[in-house]
Amino acid sequence: MSEDHVLANGVTRRQWLGLGAGMAALGLVAATPEARLFAKQLQDFIEGPPVPDIQPEKLSEHVWMIFAKDGFPTQENQGMMANVTFVVTGKGVVVIDSGGSLQIGQMAIRMIRKVTEQPVVAVFNTHYHGDHWLGNHAFVQAFGKELPIYALAHTREQIAGREGNLWLGLMEKWTNQATMGTQVHAPNATVSHGQSFTFGSVTLKMHHYGTAHTPSDLCVEVVEDKVTCVGDIAMTNRIANIDDGSFPGTFKYFDALAAAAGEQFWVPGHGRGSKDLLSTYGSFLKGIYEPCVKAVEEGVPLSQAKALVLQDPRVASRAASMQGFDSNIGKYTSLAYLEAEREAF
């Protein structure tokens, strides 16, 4: 936000900061109720308000989830749109996706402390979309700059580069500044496919099988619990943003992940987990992609492909209940059609 951003009462951010600094210099901030109220308002403007507590849910012996009921960021939910999952081990707590802001991360830490007094010893970011990693700030703030924050190499590059500041600005915009105060803290450690980490008696195994939701989607398997956090390669009740991804790449990823991990309780970044998540979500995505493949093969133009997708029973059965369906189905039909054309040639 610019320092010349104007508040509703006509005062700019630069003026607020100047007034606050002047009052502090004069020792007035704590002197009167009016001054204390001004100080609180100033702090709220510089840093967004706290996110209300969401009680953690136990998924398995070691795995807990702070569930985000909304699939998209708004002023009302303060950007709480992606699940925060954590694993309680004998050697500390491991967090898988830290949330979409400093405030969400701070809330997650409060909830972790309701479960255990153990410190957080590691964070894993599944991919570079900010609703899954902007909360890193809170964990660095609470547990120090040396806290290992792991991601695939491409995810690290994207967050440290353009995607970091892009997502910082987008979350502020979408939440009407509720995430103010959040800073970019990119992952500081690289993981690779097949790598395993042991924390006490708990083993975390890393999976990556090419481009799905993004080119660098990390899935984290909690081996002893038969629970795998899949980030955004699959969702329960919304269409995954696949602008940076691939429909056929997603299907290949699902097949490879299921073959490698076996039967799992699959935990998505958006929505609730289930043992059939990959198959049910994969069926829905095929309901978008396969009619587009057929349309390309038969010379049906893109303008008519959406009607074919909407007629597919795998899509039609989800239309009434899926979050953001009406506003997104046209876009993802276009993406599927364009990818079908590329695959055909």
Residue pLDDT tens, the chain, 345 long = 444 444 444 444 444 444 444 444 444 444 567 666 665 555 555 889 999 999 999 999 999 999 999 889 999 999 999 999 999 999 999 999 999 999 999 999 999 999 999 999 999 999 999 999 999 999 999 999 999 999 999 999 999 999 999 999 999 999 999 999 999 999 999 999 999 999 999 999 999 999 999 999 999 999 999 999 999 999 999 988 899 999 999 999 999 999 999 999 999 999 999 999 999 999 999 999 999 999 999 999 999 999 999 999 999 999 999 999 999 999 999 999 999 999 988
Is the separation of the CB atoms in 59 and 42 below 8 Å? no
Task: Report pLDDT digits (tens) over 200-244.
Answer: 999 999 999 999 999 999 999 999 999 999 999 999 999 888 999
Question: Is residue 250 in a domain?
Answer: yes
Q: How many domains does the chain contain in total? A: 3
Same domain, 169 and 76: yes
Same domain, 61 and 200: yes
Residue 118 buriedness (CB in 10 A; 0-12 / 13-18 / 19+): middle
Same domain, 241 and 99: yes
Domain boundary among 227, 251, 275: 275
The amino acid occupying position 121 is V
Pairing, β 63-66 against β 57-58? antiparallel
Question: Is residue 51 in a domain?
Answer: no
Same domain, 192 and 300: no
Same domain, 37 and 161: no
Q: Report H helices in the chain.
A: 13-25, 33-46, 102-115, 136-143, 153-160, 162-174, 247-261, 277-298, 302-311, 313-316, 325-344
Is the separation of the CB atoms in 236 and 272 below 8 Å? yes
Domain boundary among 246, 275, 304: 275
What is the sign of the dihedral through the CA atoms of 293, 296, 300 and 304?
positive
Give the DSSP letter of residue 314: H
Question: Is residue 183 in a domain?
Answer: yes
Q: Which residue, 107, 93, 99, is CA-closest to 143?
A: 93
**Chain centroid to CA 345:** 34
Is the separation of the CB atoms in 204 and 122 below 8 Å? no
Tokens representing residue 46 in the block: 């510089």
Same domain, 104 and 142: yes
List the domain range (segments joined by +) for residue 17: 13-46
Same domain, 67 and 149: yes
Same domain, 126 and 29: no
Q: Which residues pair with 267 in a beta bridge?
A: 229
Same domain, 220 and 328: no
For position 175, which CATH number holds? 3.60.15.10
Task: Report pLDDT digits (tens) over 252-280.
Answer: 999 999 999 999 999 999 999 999 999 99
What pLDDT does 39 receive? 56
* Distance in angstroms (rounded) separating the CA atoms of residues 216 and 75: 29
**Chain centroid to CA 116:** 24
Tokens representing residue 239 in the block: 């269409």
Same domain, 140 and 237: yes
Model-wide pTM > 0.85: yes
Question: Is residue 1 in a domain?
Answer: no
Domain boundary among 224, 249, 275: 275
* Distance in angstroms (rounded) separating the CA atoms of residues 106 and 139: 8
Same domain, 293 and 268: no
